[in-house]
Chain A
Amino acid sequence: MTEQAAGDQPLAFVIEDDPKQAAIFLQALQMAGYATELVNDGGLALERLLAARPSLVVLDLQLPNASGETILRQLRAEPSLAAMRVLLATAQDRRAEHLRALSDLILLKPVSFVQLRDLALRLR
């Protein structure tokens, strides 16, 4: 579900199942000038990503049906998505460490709204 979609706006995906957290991410990205789309089910993520090909993705690690790690590996194996920036959002957890090379940045939860907004702005 696309909240906002203007012609020249870059597209950002938020893949997160917690609606409160998702709302904050979406708000930060929108403030940074992105059109946003939320996916709250891991199983649907790859299909949507392939269809919409966003320039930025905020990906949660713990998701229903398919984990963030699975999605990350799948999309990194997809040449058509090579230019896509992926920010991994996770609670302070070692599990994210080995994914550092696959992601562009690891955000430790709780993620600062201001920090994400500034970061997204820089990545435009």
Chain B
Amino acid sequence: MGPVWVGRPRAHPPTVEYVSVQYAFTPYSLFALIPMLISGTLALYAAWHRSVPGATPFAVLMAAITEWSAGYALEILGADLPTKVFWGKVQYLGIVVAPVAWFLFAQLYNHARQWEDRRRLAALAVIPAITMLLAATTEGHGLIWSSVALDATAPFLALTVGHGVWFWIHTAYSYVLLLLGTLLLLQISLRRQGLYRLQVAALVAGGVSPWVGNALVLSGLNPWAPLDLTPLAFTVTGAALGMAVFQFRLLDLAPIARETVVEAMADGMLVLDAQNRIVDINPAAAQLLAVSPGQAISRPAAEVFRHWPHLLQRYQDVGQATDEISLGEGPTQRHYEVRVSPLLDRRQRLAGRVLVAHDITGRRRAAEVQRRDAEWMRALYNITLDLLNHRDIDGLLQTIVERAVVLLNAPYGEIMLLEGDEFVVRAFTQNQAFVRGDRVKRGEARLTWQAHDTRRPVVVDDYATWPHRRTLYDGVPIAAVAVIPILSGDQCLGVLDLSRSEAGRPFDPDQLQVGELLAQLAAVVLRSAQLYAQSQEANRLKSRLLANISHDVRTPLGAILGNTEMLQVGVYGDITDQQSEALTEIIASTNLLLDFVNNLIGQSEIESGKVILKIEPFEPASLLEVLQSTAKVLAQSKGLALISTLDAALPPRLLGDAYRLRQILLNLLSNAVKFTQHGSVTVRLQRVDDAHWALQVTDTGPGISADVQARVFEAFWKGPVGQSQAAPLGSGLGLAVVKELTTLMGGQVTLESTLGQGSTFTVSLPMAAAPELETVR
């Protein structure tokens, strides 16, 4: 069927018709003018808000419909055929652009595809461009319009056209795009929940209405034929889209952002309305609550949260809160930070609440690791401190058990040690006091012996159903058990036993490793405690030995001394001068021996740390009593003058350990008398300043050379080699004891000496005056 061109032969120049353009008003033009105004307004509004994603294709769509409607309005208003034909062609710009813009809008709304993708755009524009070109030149080929005519029988002067081949191609293409766009919006509508459903419904209504209008026209069912209902349908489209834009804030609240952020975010999001019904839920929240979003929507929160009544209760009436919750148990347990924010309507009334659950499991685990490391350091620190303080072995084992319980997160703990052929409980947590005094022989307590035999940790994940469980533990619900051997080299000294009561929480390898480290620590503790006990025992023996020596030596020495003195003073008859000299020598040597014994004990006490100062009020003058002692006898026997002076500026009573001070003074005196052959030994008690007083012993002996001065306070040092022959017998301990005791008292001992001019030892001490009124029993 060839094209039938009604009206003008194609040879006629077209310019003539343009000049003769005429119009006549008809109210039917309103069917096109109103859609034009609405879609024009929407186009401008969208263009104004083009910064919002999706606004641009929407504006283009609206502009195309505006153009189409405007063209159609002018076609209706046209008073003759050329005018109508001209505007009929002009409309094709809007006609071809609208389906493409619709499709792009729907697609962009759905997937946020790059609208600016030029190649895609170009591909979509091929058919519309051809349609446009053919429409402009349809008189030449009839591919769009095969015929045009004026229908004067209609309520208004209408343009009727016969359609060419390309028109159907164009129509098919347009319908495909329209269909695809509508399907896309339907798809979103089904996927979306709550707030956005109405928006999408409006969009779909807008998308469906041109179909209805167009379908009516093409099917010949148009009640207002020959009026083209498509632009009219687009009025509905414009209004629907207007709803979407204004009422549901299509362009203000960009659904694309909501889509990408909320749907894809890892945090669970839940929207509750004022009646605590779930209005919106994102996939993460749905997964968290083990429901599908479709199931959850519009159901009461109480139903969805039925597995977590405590959570429901916690957030029942909370408008705004931040909280941390844990879901699940064991290794699959996850932790969430839950934030509840109120949703207020325009009048600031509570319209609902948004709950956002942020997964903080990783953060929690990191914190857990950090906490465990800190706990581990603290355990090490405490145990080391206890070790250094020589705590008893049971105290140390108790410390280890208590730390292990915290570190391994297993509240039941005990340590059993191997004693002979059985294990004996030595330390345990208070929650299982029933194990006190428990002893197990081979054949009982299988786990303990297995750990002993294999030298490896033994773990039972479900002790409650384990066939070999001990009835001893029936009192507490023990579930997971770890028994870790305490190994010293290849020897098993005992076991560290840890248990948990919750089922389904077995010990993991990390925890066992920590347990093994603690067991190693226990082994170190046991070894060093044993060594310490041995050394303590040796020390006790030494002290007892020294005490015995002291007693056993001093008693006969006393007898020698007393009897020799009696001989010398003539109790048993007269003696010769030679005999007297010999007796003097015996007395002097006996005194040196006594000196030696006394200082040996003093030194041993200091070395073993047994010296404890006893600070009490004392009279400084009482210290000079030592001048009555053996030192005096020695001095007299050597013809030395013993002089003492007491500084009047000293308080009458001081605070200090008078017994140890006498020991210091006696040793200094003995030393001075020992080395001085002629002259005198002087003792001075002096006030140095407001805070110090001093004990000073000066002799007129040979003096001590500078290079030797530093060494005289060393224990067992007896003067430079070669001089020892000339030096009198002594323990070599006296000055060492002086120095130790002085240091213990917070004082200092100094030596001033010049060879040939004697020596002065000064012990300066912090001064504390005793209260004046002291009641003495």
Interface residues of A (CB under 8 A from B): 18, 20-21, 24, 27, 31, 91-92, 94, 97, 100-102, 105-106, 108-115, 117, 119
Contacts and interface: CB of A to CB of B under 8 A. Distances in A.
Contacts of B569: 31, 113-114, 117
Contacts of A109: 554, 558
A102 B550 CA distance: 27
Interface string B651-690: 0000000110000000000000000000000000000000
Contact of B776 (A101, A105, A106, A113): A101
A2 to B, nearest CB: 19
- 4 smallest A-B Cβ distances: which pairs? A110-B558, A24-B562, A113-B565, A101-B776
B630 A112 contact: yes
Contact of B562 (A21, A100, A108): A21
A45 B559 CA distance: 24
A115 B628 contact: yes
Interface string B85-119: 00000000000000000000000000000000000
Interface in B514-565: 550-551, 554-555, 557-559, 561-563, 565
Interface string B622-639: 100100111011000000
Contacts of A106: 625
Contact of B565 (A18, A91, A92, A112): A112
A113 B39 CA distance: 136
Contacts of A105: 625, 628
A13 B299 CA distance: 110
A113 B569 CA distance: 9
A106 B626 CA distance: 10
Nearest to B569: A114
Contact residues of B: prevailing secondary structure: helix
B496 interface: no
A109 B565 CA distance: 15
B8 to A, nearest CB: 144
A113 B561 contact: yes
* Chain B interface size range: 20 to 34
A101 B561 contact: no
B417 to A, nearest CB: 40
Given A109-B554, A112-B630, A24 B777 contact: no
A27 B499 CA distance: 79
Nearest to B626: A108
B594 A110 contact: yes
Nearest to A108: B629
Contact of A31 (B558, B561, B571, B601): B571
Nearest to A102: B777
Contacts of B629: 108, 112, 115
Contact of B658 (A21, A91, A97): A97
A105 B633 CA distance: 17
A101 B571 CA distance: 34
A111 B590 CA distance: 12
7 contacts: A27-B566, A92-B598, A97-B659, A109-B554, A110-B554, A112-B630, A115-B632
Contacts of B601: 92
Contacts of A119: 628
A107 B568 CA distance: 21
Pick the most buried of A31, A92, A109: most chain B CB atoms within 10 A of its CB: A92
A75 to B, nearest CB: 14
Given A91-B554, A115-B632, A110 B625 contact: no
A115 B633 contact: yes
Given A21-B558, A111-B558, A100 B622 contact: yes
B443 to A, nearest CB: 56
B445 to A, nearest CB: 52
Given A21-B558, A109-B554, A113-B562, A27 B571 contact: yes
A49 B551 CA distance: 29
Contacts of B568: 114
A111 B555 CA distance: 11
A111 B558 CA distance: 7
B326 to A, nearest CB: 64
A63 to B, nearest CB: 16
Pick the most buried of A27, A106, A110: most chain B CB atoms within 10 A of its CB: A110
A18 B555 CA distance: 10
A110 B598 contact: no
Nearest to B591: A112
A31 B630 CA distance: 19
A119 B629 CA distance: 11
Nearest to A98: B616
B659 A94 contact: yes
A92 to B, nearest CB: 6
B628 A91 contact: no
A27 to B, nearest CB: 6
Nearest to B567: A113
Nearest to A25: B562
Given A92-B598, A94-B659, A110-B562, 8 more contacts: A91-B551, A100-B622, A109-B554, A110-B559, A112-B562, A113-B565, A113-B569, A115-B632
